[in-house]
Structure 1
């Protein structure tokens, strides 16, 4: 299959959506599918140059990424227009002979627009939701109405947890039969425990997160002084950056905890494991989470996890690998204290885990439970199902858009009609047969590595 993964959020930006896109794409490529990424222009944080045009990312297979000349508006999100990106999207879809458009994340403008474009072009579409949203605040109400409109023509929806699935169905009133729950995963081989790196004299609590309000940094500001006052041998390692970092630094200076709280700043994903293996406990204070890959990575590295009991977090880890707490300072502090008392053994000269918790065994369990190969295989089954469905006619699409609302339905229909006629103009201006398509190349060796003919065939294809 030929698949386009589309989102405003991708490398060099780091986060759960970005890692999901990259990991899923690589496993789909390894299974023999053609996968491309479509996103907008990014500024490289290292070289400070603009990352634009077509790039290839390393991995098990060559991952082709289109960094389209679309300027982000705010928070790396493109300006919503529902027209200006149609020409370049159509050109890419035809050039790459895309069969499935797979959009990611509710707040991504490109993702929402691409679903509408796919319906107009007669291409199957799939959407993956990564976050939880509310029902009462103005931003959530507007986003829910936009999602209801953009998902009207989608063929299937994937959510990263059962909680996320229920939340999406209630927010958008979607047909539950097309909404699937496929959890995230990690590459456990890259997150292995290393007891030799763990401090033997002091207990280390690790926090790696974006330092923003949604991640519960205000809770962390209240917890750190309380834990440090109760335990003389506990230190904190904080990795990440964001708007709430200043509040943490002010608290550390006010409480004079400079020697017990270490700030690492933004941590590249390749270095996350090296930070995690230094700790004993991983602390997640999020106020809302649909899945939380970070606690999976921490548990795989052998850390015991303490987390707020929000969203899909209770679905992620077995009960003996995590302590859950309500998102308030006092209870979270008590749960951290419980984790230190019950899981850490400080009676000897060397600080270590109690016999009731085995970091190596925890890693092996995570390796068995979560796998990107399994996620890719389940996603492929969704792709196969949507390819069997008939594409919607213009009349059927307008009927679905009309059901969005008594007034907004007409607005969405007007946008859809303008897209339809704009597409007709583009087809007249640049017919599909005038766009050069990308030829297929055999980029992977055959299963029989000793087959000389297959080696020669691979060599010839790569040379061409």
Structure 2
């Protein structure tokens, strides 16, 4: 069956996790920007997304309620989500659903369709750990493969992740690479000057993440301790997560606790201000399919030093510095070099900003998603890959 969707506004359903991780941030920004462009958007999650701070005309948030029935050891969020998706699909006549993260969101979309939500078409966007960590778990590998096959279209945030998905699951469904994006107006270079313009010449280094084990934030602190032994420096740890307190404990053990701070950042405006005032971004991740926080730093003209993993080389595109995973000495040396040479620092910062503007502007990536939504909504109803 072929549906006709002209240039009229779209009715979109978007599903994401509410956390500050890349998938939740990108999904929420798509929802906000699509609504401001005149489309009707319904955003579903189990909690209010971190970047949904205020009411947006055209955007309606639906919190998915999960029953605490005592028989269940673990509340079945996937079932509750499927039910809510089916309800919203029928009530709002959704043209296209966009689910971020394969498990459980894509499975819930399939279940909503199987329960009778007619012509439910959905795009699944892969963000990284849904394939490299969750999808690699034997308990979730088969559902992940099934979710990909049932999706109307599949996108990935980097070529690395698209290739990893094919290798891991033998997927025959085409995967379109649509990268993450950044608001280059909000995330812009600051006006206060870098370390060489400060009276104390203190180097301000930042790490921002969800502080999960895969981020190896302890390595960030250890690399910083080597930097701080050579240069006046301060480390800002931005974000929340299970390893945050452990990272602060490592700082105390290494004797740099007085130079490590964990500033509370309430929204993206405060994050942009902090990044614009930084001199360097450090990432010690074990795997990183994209690296949204690094892109935001690049947009602020801040040089980045990262482990050479996953999709990070794609994002850098020759800017920034890449070091082997676990080689903290190499990371410290790369950072010290940039933080000791204002001319080199200035060039890398300008190149990083230019790449962010040229390749990852939010307006350009949103247009790609809107074109995809129209194609999915107007095209023939797809049957899953056998």
TM-score, normalisation: structure 1: 0.71
Q: Secondary structure at the match of 1:357?
A: helix
The aligned counterpart of 2:6 is none
- 1:176 is displaced (CA, Å) by 4.2
How far apart are residue 86 of structure 1 and its match? 4.4
Matched, 1:116 2:111: yes
Query: Equivalents in 2 of 1:183, 1:72: separation in Å?
Result: 37
Structure 1: runs of 5 or more not aligned: 46-54, 346-351, 404-464
Offset, 1:187: 0.3
Matched, 1:163 2:154: no
Q: Hey, what's the Cα distance between the residues in 1 that align with 2:187 and 2:231?
A: 29
State which structure, 1 or 2, has the greater radius of gyration over its C-alpha atoms: 1
1:380 to 358, 362, 370: 370
Q: Note the C-alpha offset of 1:157.
A: 0.4
2: distance between equivalents of 1:72 and 1:341? 55
Q: How far off is 1:82 after superposition?
A: 6.0
User: Contact between 2:248 and 2:260, CA under 8 Å: does it hold in 1?
Assistant: no
- The 1:239–1:82 alpha-carbon spacing in structure 2 relative to 1, beyond 3 Å, is closer
In the TM superposition, 1:18-417 aligns within 5 A as 18-41=24-47, 57-59=54-56, 61-70=57-66, 79-80=75-76, 83-107=79-103, 109-118=104-113, 120=116, 121-132=118-129, 140-177=137-174, 179-196=175-192, 198-199=194-195, 200=198, 201-229=201-229, 231-265=230-264, 268-319=267-318, 321-328=319-326, 331-342=327-338, 344-345=340-341, 352-354=342-344, 357=347, 359-360=349-350, 362-391=352-381
Aligned length: 366
Alignment-derived partner of residue 448 in structure 1:
none
- Separation in 1, partners of 2:228, 2:113: 54
Contact 1:204–1:280 (CA under 8 A) maintained in structure 2 = yes
Instruction: Summarize the Cα distance change of 1:136–1:367 in structure 2 as closer, same or farther, 3 Å threshold.
Output: closer
Cα distance 1:257–1:136, how it changes in 2: closer, same or farther (>3 A)? closer
Which of 7, 14, 25 in structure 2 is aligned with 1:5? Answer: 14
Q: 1:203 to 1:378 in 2, by over 3 A?
A: same
SS of 1:204 mapped into structure 2: strand
What secondary structure sits across from 1:102 in the alignment?
strand
Separation of aligned partners in 1, 2:23 and 2:14: 11
Give 1:296 shift: 0.9
Q: TM-score, with normalisation over the residues of structure 2?
A: 0.84
